[in-house]
Amino acid sequence: MLFSLSSVSKALSILTFGLTCVSSLPLKIGEYGTHDNDGICKNPRVRKEWRKLSDLEKADYLRAVDCLHSIPGQYADVIDGLSVFEDYIYVHKTQTPYVHLVGHFLPWHRYFMWTYEEDLRNRCGYKGAQPYWDYSLDVPPTAEVTSLSASPIFSPDTGFGGDGQYANDSSLPGLDLPKGTGGGCVTDGPFADWTIHIGRNTTQIRDDRCLQRSLNPTIANDWCNANVEAEIMAQKDFGWMHHVLEGEPSYVKMGVHGGGHFAVGGSASDVFTANTEPLFYLHHTNLDRMWWQWAMADPENRVWDISGPIAPWTDILAPNRTGLPTGNVTLEFELGLGRLADMIEVADLMDTEGDFLCYIYEL
């Protein structure tokens, strides 16, 4: 069947910007990612790179994200006006000091991504699995400058919209990083008209504002390339793999975790509220994909490998660490997401086709 360009454009526009929370298109992706009566993962969801989704699948995902921001949140009693989408920002904001620069960084974010994916599906009728963004596909293997804005992920029609308006000073205060190309409000795409209510960094106030971006090709070139990922894959145990992936709070050792955030810039560059940027979830799902791919290279020894400190190894995000538990993370260590989900053990999150999770990745 052939479609005219105008009819496809109109359909995408309706899907992308519509405020309905149930898709009207019969995307025959099927029910998958469930467990049978014996708790066995059946038909695991297949998480795909953004480019491998059809235009209709992309539109369905973007519609569901917009839907989450239209539903009143559980934390609206703490900060007035919060949506379900902003519930996730609140939980990330309040837990940031204790789930970064620690051994449970990857398991906690895996749980966070899974819970978000479940809300997209159960609250907003999303039919697919959480996609990821492999930014190494947007970084040339040579030293030429990356045209980050040309990536399909930033398409105003089938992506997340483009750069923010140019701001005179789009650098990041307190961080010695290359300057980005935007800094102001995103002006096109599905989230251009969003109002964010939750305040920046650690504040507990309402602060109505727009979604901001400042694309940074230099950071993308340095930290989002295939060589950085290859170094992650070359590590022999979880501790070193995680440390290389998460990096350190300095530009020379930033790692792909910081690189992905600061390459997008703007709202994504505030570590506490980085998930104000919807691309946060594709970035962290890509980090989860790297962990999964690393583990699948030697599943017998790596799927259940966990290590690293419970308390952050530096006080840059948690200046007051009084009372924090000591020791190293084990499979029995418990993780929580506030009101979003129940407490769970690290062991429940190690196998993506286990008793709790049910997904794999398409590479």
Contact between 263 and 215 under an 8 Å Cβ cutoff? The reply is yes
**Residue 204 three-state SS:** coil
Helix (H) or strand (E) segment spanning residue 351: none
Instruction: Kindly tell me if the per-residue pLDDT of 305 is higher than 60.
Output: yes
Residue 177 one-letter amino acid: L
Helix (H) or strand (E) segment spanning residue 37: none
Residue 25 in any domain: the answer is no
Question: According to the model, what pLDDT value does residue 9 have?
Answer: 41
Residue 2 in any domain: the answer is no
pLDDT band at 326 (very low <50, low <70, confident <90, very high): confident
Instruction: Kindly tell me if the per-residue pLDDT of 57 is higher than 50.
Output: yes
Residue 347 in any domain: the answer is yes
Q: What is the mean pLDDT of residues 238-260?
A: 94
On average, the pLDDT of the chain sits at 89
Provide, for the chain, the percentages of residues in helix, strand and coil under a 3-state DSSP scheme, each rounded to the nearest 5: 40, 10, 50
Residue 316 in any domain: the answer is yes
User: What's the domain range around 65?
Assistant: 11-20+32-361
Question: According to the model, what pLDDT value does residue 14 have?
Answer: 36
Question: According to the model, what pLDDT value does residue 323 have?
Answer: 74
Top-confidence residue, 186 or 312: 186
Question: According to the model, what pLDDT value does residue 1 have?
Answer: 36
Tally of structural domains, the chain: 1
Instruction: Kindly tell me if the per-residue pLDDT of 78 is higher than 80.
Output: yes
Question: According to the model, what pLDDT value does residue 4 have?
Answer: 37
CATH number of the CATH domain containing 87: 1.10.1280.10
Instruction: Kindly tell me if the per-residue pLDDT of 173 is higher than 60.
Output: no
Give, as one character, the DSSP assignment of residue 199. P
Give residues with Cβ within 8 angstroms of 4, minimum separation 6. none
- Per DSSP, helices labelled H in the chain are 5-17, 55-68, 84-99, 105-124, 217-223, 226-233, 238-246, 255-264, 280-296, 299-302
Q: What is the mean pLDDT of residues 182-208?
A: 96
Question: According to the model, what pLDDT value does residue 31 have?
Answer: 58
